[in-house]
Amino acid sequence: MTARLLNYFAVCPRGLEPALADELDGLGAQSVRTESGGVAFSGAQDTGYSANLHSRIASRILWQVGRRGYTAEQHLYDATQEIRWQDLICPGQTLRVDVTASRSPLTSLEFAMLRIKDGIVDRLRSLRGERPSIDRQDPDVRVFAYLDERTVTLYLDLSGEPLFKRGWRADKGEAPLKENLAAGLLALSGWTPDVPLFDPFCGSGTIVIEAASIATRRAPGLARSFAFERLASFDRHAWRRLLSRAQEVVDDSVDTLIVGSDISTRIIEQAQINAGLAGLATLLSDGRLRLTAGDARTSAAPADHGMIISNPPYGEQSTPRSSSVPKMMGEVGDHLKAAFPGWHAWFLTSDRQLPRQMRLAESRKPVLYNGALECRFFRFELVGGRYRPRASASH
Ligand SMILES: C[S@@+](CC[C@H](N)C(=O)[O-])C[C@H]1O[C@@H](n2cnc3c(N)ncnc32)[C@H](O)[C@@H]1O
């Protein structure tokens, strides 16, 4: 028997759609197609579970349960009557509906949301004699409706808490990157665990912890729960199989060197706690994952070659706006050229002047969004020529 094909949509930070499509391809997703802000794909029920468990780049996985044309609110109600909610929502469960729209002709999204909610509630009441109640804080089942100019698409949220919440973060640090953005940086850079990695502004450790999890083949969703576990259609056996397979492949014996440092001792202590909570105590204790306090202007290269991937402080993040960041980045640029010859460096920043400040010419600069903030992910080759003494001219 062939499994029924379901349609999904994986949401991700803008700029990471192609990297997410590659990741989903690798997980066995079918009909993978990038769209703005995410990737549509199809697959069996366990493909949806697998995407939640294994995707490092997605923020959320949605299951498309309905889609039809509309011109008026009544059509939204009608759309809900075509779906077998009784197979999805258990008796006594709570519900929440959210609507987003782009170019919708409807005047009130609030009213659109109410019509969709009424449609689901009425349908279940007529089938069961009882209606689900609404819980906006912690619903058992969350429905997302997306309205474009002509079409309404209804999705069930399979993730619950966004997927960048891996379940290990104890403290937020100063301005932590989201874990899925960190994973996106690692994917875009082409880093592999055999390449020494250094983050000189590591903060709470997001990039290095994500890298160490990749190196040890820890599925990002191993330590958390998902909304699909509450659905009436939940297949416990399929999920258990996926979970135990993911636990089996964790491999702490990997040969890797991953180093993070930060000027703040307090933040480094927090990063070390975070790494332990992420299950990386073995790598921390034998030095394959190192988290040390240090100034990026003077840090020693941890190996004779490797990759720097980092998210340095930038204006918008310093309060009050700090004029010393550009000066500091100039000193960091000079230091990296001298002390990290042959390394590749990638910096994520919203400050387009970073190459000028660091006196480095970028070889690439893909655009990424850190939340609403438009950023560049600058790539620099640290050729190390600048400080080489010139051969004296002979006549
Ligand atoms: C944007 S935050 C990095 C956040 C990090 N990616 C995370 O996810 O937590 C920048 C970090 O640079 C650190 N920092 C500022 N100046 C520094 C310097 N000269 N050397 C090393 N770290 C520095 C700050 O303490 C802060 O933690």
For the stretch 196-230, pLDDT in tens is: 999 999 999 999 999 999 999 999 999 999 999 99
Q: Rounded to an integer, what distance in angstroms lies between the CA atom of residue 387 and that of residue 389?
A: 6
> CA-to-CA distance for 29 and 55, rounded, in angstroms?
11
DSSP line for 87-129: GTS-TT-EEEEEEEESS-S-S-HHHHHHHHHHHHHHHHHHHHS
Q: Peptide bond before 196: cis, by omega within 30 degrees of 0?
A: no
Q: Are 109 and 155 in contact (CB under 8 A)?
A: no
The token pair at 238 is: 């399929």
Ligand 1 atom having least distance to the Cα of 297 = 19
**For residue 45, pLDDT beyond 50:** yes
Q: Using CA positions, which residue lies closest to atom 10 of ligand 1?
A: 313
Q: State the amino acid at position 281 in one-letter form.
A: A
pLDDT at 391: 40
Which residue, 240, 201, 186, 257, is CA-closest to 22? 186
User: What does the pLDDT look like over 132-171, one tens digit per residue?
Assistant: 999 999 999 999 999 999 999 999 999 999 999 998 887 5
For the chain, percent of residues with pLDDT exceeding 70: 93
Give residue 395's pLDDT band: very low, low, confident or very high (50, 70, 90). Answer: very low
Q: Tell me the torsion sign for CA atoms 47, 49, 51, 53.
A: negative
| Rounded Cα–Cα distance for residues 369 and 185 (Å) | 11
Instruction: Name the closest-CA residue to atom 17, ligand 1.
Output: 263
Write out the two tokens for 347: 């910096």
Tell me how far the alpha carbon of residue 34 lies from the centroid of ligand 1, in angstroms: 33
pLDDT per position as a tens digit, 68-117 = 999 999 999 999 999 999 999 999 999 999 999 999 999 999 999 999 99
Name every protein residue with a CB atom under 6 angstroms from any ligand 1 atom.
173-177, 200-201, 203-204, 206-207, 262-264, 267, 295-297, 311-313, 317, 328
Structure tokens at 6: 């379901």
Instruction: Give strand ranges (E) for 20-73.
Output: 30-35, 38-43, 60-69
- What is residue 169's predicted lDDT score, i.e. its pLDDT? 87
Query: Which atom of ligand 1 lies closest to the CA of 314?
Result: 1
pLDDT band for position 173 (50/70/90)? low
pLDDT reported for residue 172: 62
Using the mean position of ligand 1's atoms as its centre, give its distance from the Cα of residue 262 in Å. Answer: 6
CA gap 56, 278 in Å, rounded: 14
Question: What is the whole-number distance in angstroms between the Cα of residue 267 and the centre of ligand 1?
Answer: 9
Between the two ends of the chain, the Cα-to-Cα distance in Å is 84
Among protein residues, the one with the nearest Cα to ligand 1's atom 5 is 203
CA of 263 relative to ligand 1 center, distance in Å: 7
How far, in Å, from the CA of 312 to the mean position of ligand 1?
6
- Residues in the chain, overall count: 395
Greatest pairwise CA separation for the chain in angstroms:
101
d(CA 14, CA 375): 10
The number of the ligand 1 atom at minimal distance from the alpha carbon of 294 is 21
Q: For a pocket test of ligand 1, which of 174, 198, 270, 274 has the largest count of ligand atoms closer than 8 A to its C-beta?
A: 174
User: 271, 71, 286, 55: which is closest to 173 by C-alpha?
Assistant: 271
Tokens 């056996």 — which residue?
237
Q: How remote is the CA of residue 386 from the centroid of ligand 1, in Å?
A: 26
Token pair 């004296």 is found at: 392
Atom of ligand 1 nearest to the CA of 267: 27
Query: Is the confidence at residue 250, as pLDDT, over 80?
Result: yes
- Tell me whether residue 212 is exposed, middle or buried, using C-beta atoms within 10 angstroms of its C-beta: 0 to 12, 13 to 18, 19 or more: buried
In the reported structure, the alpha carbon of residue 313 is separated from the centroid of ligand 1 by a whole-number distance in angstroms of 6
Atom 8 of ligand 1: nearest residue by CA position: 176
Q: pTM of the prediction?
A: 0.93
Q: In this predicted structure, what is the pLDDT of residue 248? A: 98
Query: 383 falls in which pLDDT band (50, 70, 90)?
Result: confident
> Burial code of 61-78, b = ≥16 C-beta within 10 A, e = fewer?
bbbbbbeeebeebeebbe
**Closest atom, ligand 1, to C-alpha of 174:** 27
Closest ligand 1 atom to the C-alpha of 206?
8
Q: What is the model's pLDDT at position 265?
A: 96
Torsion of CA 269, 271, 275, 278, to 10 degrees: 120
- Distance from residue 310's CA to the centre of ligand 1 (Å): 9
Ligand 1: centre distance to CA 202 (Å): 6
